[in-house]
């Protein structure tokens, strides 16, 4: 069998005359596996920057206006004279942290890595539908990352009107220095980013629809693929709207139009704008902004489904219900954006509608959570680091999701809107959860990505410290939000009313710093294992899906011989009709074996 496979590999090589130079193999590669690695490593670097920024502003919040040498080293004399952080750079850090984490890490790096790696491998395709477009997609992402990082170095500072860039603040350099060149670069970077994201998404959708191997019906797709597929569709539907908002904002900023601006008096003069509305921008922004949450979350849930099933040695519970809930979440996600705008000044009647649709999302979400828990029940859990992160995801997804019932209810939102309660909620439910999903994916598919294993003990340490710190940071944060503390305040010292929250802020920062520092363990594990990790076997986790039938060494076209045919769904773990506890999708049905789920 293996010898035969080898021959096929030789034939394959022969047929195509692949002569890879360094540039075509590592830089302008059109191979989906290499592009996945490029996305991952770019994303990790962006992640280091994004998380690093949060450490800085957390220090400012815990010890306001205190002098830290590191501020001066990192932010320079202009923004941290004598090591004291300036108020405008604080807002810039918050803004860029949000932008980087939401878009560059949890959208581009998460989808970019795992959709690219897994879609062809798990559906049985030689590569993406368009390898060239895939390459362009990565390089546009890279370019937008460079521009975003570049914006940190412009003289007046980077964009600092919050990651939601609401005009007029983001439109008027008179209102905040970051809305000058910094904002221009932000918009250019995001426009390129959206182009990249759309190319990637189109590719994912086309590939899943057209390139599935023989026997791989839609109801035999692993849930990862379902999640990536639906995510890509949400992206295609909603990202263009953000692009349009960004373009209109560029027009308002540079060409004197008044889409979002009206009746403004600033810096001693009346501006010419008339007739526009900032609320229109909010609608356009959140039409992407809310689906974006699910663009971030669904891939993480997809990864979790796969990791939990494999490591529980059990079928994922309710495969069809899981697919339906993914679709339901995707559909609902496009009609709930107004819950970010209950108190924006829009008609309160709309608030009622959006409360209704928003709380409906809790139903498919609950189905998913209960299905995960039931999958664990009576399993034979292999508690690998990936599995721990997946269980961690379910935990934070529940904790963070439940407070969504408060924020999605317009009446309750009145008083917690834009407080730290919101910050705690969305960091748990999308930030930490999606990050856990990404970590689970990295630990699980590292052998597939790099042909080596990550050190599991470092993985365990990484998980447990992260898990404790994540709750340590965000659980107390709910309380200071319920105490009425607004987010995006550079310091709370001007409000004696909030003096009793300061100790909590210090505790949060201590947990954040420890949690942040322990990500170094992961970085060390990741980069050293690429080169020195233990060699991986072909199917280390004894998984059913197709990617583990490819050789450990990456080759063009993924399979040395024919693409294997698929005969069953991906979750035949511990099937009583078989002796082993996993039955790969390529194993034909036994005579008389019952088809349980199709």
Contact call for residue 500 and other proteins (CB under 8 A): yes
By CB under 8 A, which span of 199-207, 231-239, 391-399, 546-554 interacts with other proteins?
A: 391-399
Read off the DSSP letter of residue 270. Answer: E
User: Considering only residues 276-305, where is the footprint of other proteins by CB under 8 A?
Assistant: 276-279
Contacting residue, 236, 359, 506, 555, with other proteins by CB under 8 A: 359
Q: How far is CA 479 from CA 36, 413, 422, 473, in A?
A: 40, 15, 11, 11
Contact call for residue 237 and other proteins (CB under 8 A): no
> How many of the chain's residues bind other proteins (CB under 8 A)?
138
Contact call for residue 72 and other proteins (CB under 8 A): no
Nearest to residue 193, comparing CAs of 168, 163, 155? 163
User: Considering only residues 91-120, where is the footprint of other proteins by CB under 8 A?
Assistant: 91
* CB 199, min distance to other proteins, A: 32
Contact call for residue 593 and other proteins (CB under 8 A): no
- What distance in Å separates the CA atoms of residue 530 and residue 145, rounded to the nearest whole number? 24
Contacting residue, 373, 552, 555, 587, with other proteins by CB under 8 A: 373
* Residue 254, Cβ density class (10 Å: 0-12 exposed, 13-18 middle, ≥19 buried): exposed
Contact call for residue 28 and other proteins (CB under 8 A): no
Contact call for residue 471 and other proteins (CB under 8 A): yes
Can you say whether the dihedral through the CA atoms of 372, 318, 295, 241 is positive or negative?
Answer: negative
By CB under 8 A, which span of 3-11, 220-228, 388-396, 584-592 interacts with other proteins?
A: 388-396
- What distance in Å separates the CA atoms of residue 534 and residue 132, rounded to the nearest whole number? 33
Contact call for residue 496 and other proteins (CB under 8 A): yes
- What distance in Å separates the CA atoms of residue 339 and residue 351, rounded to the nearest whole number? 7
Residue closer to other proteins, measured from CB, 37 or 314: 314
First to last CA, the chain: 30
User: Considering only residues 239-278, where is the footprint of other proteins by CB under 8 A?
Assistant: 261-266, 270, 274-278
Contact call for residue 9 and other proteins (CB under 8 A): no
By CB under 8 A, which span of 196-204, 242-250, 403-411, 434-442 interacts with other proteins?
A: 403-411
Give me the residues paired with residue 269 across strands: 266
Contacting residue, 49, 59, 169, 449, with other proteins by CB under 8 A: 169
Residue closer to other proteins, measured from CB, 29 or 358: 358
Contacting residue, 9, 24, 574, 587, with other proteins by CB under 8 A: 574
Q: Which two tokens stand for residue 246?
A: 């960004």
User: Considering only residues 331-350, where is the footprint of other proteins by CB under 8 A?
Assistant: 343-345, 348
Interacting residues of 48 by C-beta distance below 8 A, sequence separation 6+: 523
- What distance in Å separates the CA atoms of residue 295 and residue 430, rounded to the nearest whole number? 10
Can you say whether the dihedral through the CA atoms of 580, 585, 587, 592 is positive or negative?
Answer: positive
Interacting residues of 299 by C-beta distance below 8 A, sequence separation 6+: 110, 111, 114, 115, 224, 227, 228, 231, 434, 437
Radius of gyration for the alpha carbons in the chain, expressed in angstroms and rounded: 24
Contacting residue, 29, 197, 201, 455, with other proteins by CB under 8 A: 455
Residue closer to other proteins, measured from CB, 158 or 167: 167
Contact call for residue 166 and other proteins (CB under 8 A): yes
């Amino acid at each position: 069998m293996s010898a035969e496979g080898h021959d096929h590999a030789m034939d394959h090589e022969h047929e195509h005359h692949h002569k890879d130079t360094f540039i075509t193999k590592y830089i302008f590669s059109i191979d989906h596996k290499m592009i996945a690695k490029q996305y991952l490593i770019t994303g990790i670097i962006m992640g280091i920057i994004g998380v690093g920024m949060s450490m800085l502003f957390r220090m400012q919040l815990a010890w306001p206006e205190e002098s830290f040498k590191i501020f001066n080293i990192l932010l320079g004399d202009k923004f941290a004279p004598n090591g004291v952080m300036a108020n405008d750079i604080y807002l810039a850090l918050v803004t860029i942290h949000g932008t980087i984490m939401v878009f560059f890490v949890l959208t581009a790096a998460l989808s970019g890595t795992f959709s690219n790696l897994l879609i062809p491998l798990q559906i049985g395709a030689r590569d993406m539908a368009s390898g060239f477009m895939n390459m362009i997609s990565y390089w546009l992402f890279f370019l937008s990352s460079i521009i975003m990082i570049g914006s940190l170095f412009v003289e007046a500072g980077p964009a600092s009107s919050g990651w939601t860039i609401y005009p007029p603040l983001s439109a008027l350099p008179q209102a905040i220095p970051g809305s000058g060149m910094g904002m221009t670069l932000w918009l250019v970077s995001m426009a390129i980013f959206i182009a990249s994201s759309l190319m990637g998404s189109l590719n994912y959708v086309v590939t899943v629809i057209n390139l599935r191997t023989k026997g791989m019906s839609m109801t035999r797709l692993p849930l990862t693929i379902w999640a990536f597929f639906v995510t890509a569709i949400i992206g295609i539907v909603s990202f263009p709207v953000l692009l349009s908002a960004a373009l209109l904002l560029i027009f308002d900023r540079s060409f004197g139009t008044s889409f979002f601006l009206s009746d403004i008096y600033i810096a001693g003069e009346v501006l010419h704008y008339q007739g526009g509305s900032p609320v229109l921008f909010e609608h356009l922004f959140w039409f992407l902004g809310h689906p974006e949450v699910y663009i971030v979350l669904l891939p993480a849930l997809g990864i979790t489904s796969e990791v939990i099933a494999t490591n529980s040695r059990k079928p994922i519970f309710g495969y069809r219900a899981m697919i339906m809930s993914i679709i339901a979440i995707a559909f609902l996600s496009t009609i709930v954006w107004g819950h970010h705008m209950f108190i924006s000044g829009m008609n309160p009647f709309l608030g009622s509608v959006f409360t209704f649709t928003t709380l409906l999302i809790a139903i498919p979400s609950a189905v998913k959570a209960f299905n995960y828990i039931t999958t664990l029940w009576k399993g034979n859990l292999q508690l690998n680091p990936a599995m721990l992160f997946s269980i961690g995801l379910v935990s934070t997804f529940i904790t963070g999701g439940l407070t969504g019932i408060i924020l999605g209810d317009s009446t309750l939102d009145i008083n917690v809107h834009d407080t730290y309660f919101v910050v705690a909620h969305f960091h748990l439910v999308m930030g930490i959860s999606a990050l856990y999903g990404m970590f689970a994916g990295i630990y699980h598919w590292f052998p597939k990505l790099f042909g080596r294993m990550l050190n599991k003990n470092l993985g365990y340490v990484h998980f447990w410290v992260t898990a404790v710190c994540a709750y340590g940071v965000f659980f107390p944060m709910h309380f200071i939000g319920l105490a009425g503390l607004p987010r995006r305040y550079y310091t709370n010292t001007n409000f004696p009313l909030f003096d009793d929250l300061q100790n909590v802020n210090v505790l949060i920062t201590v947990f954040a710093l420890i949690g942040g520092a322990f990500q170094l363990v992961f970085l060390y594990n990741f980069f050293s294992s690429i080169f020195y990790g233990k060699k991986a076997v072909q199917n280390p986790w004894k998984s059913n899906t197709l990617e583990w039938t490819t050789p450990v060494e990456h080759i063009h076209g993924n399979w040395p011989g024919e693409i294997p045919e698929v005969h069953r769904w991906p979750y035949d773990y511990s099937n009583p009709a078989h002796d082993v506890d996993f039955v790969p999708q390529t194993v034909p049905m036994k005579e008389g074996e019952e088809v349980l789920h199709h």
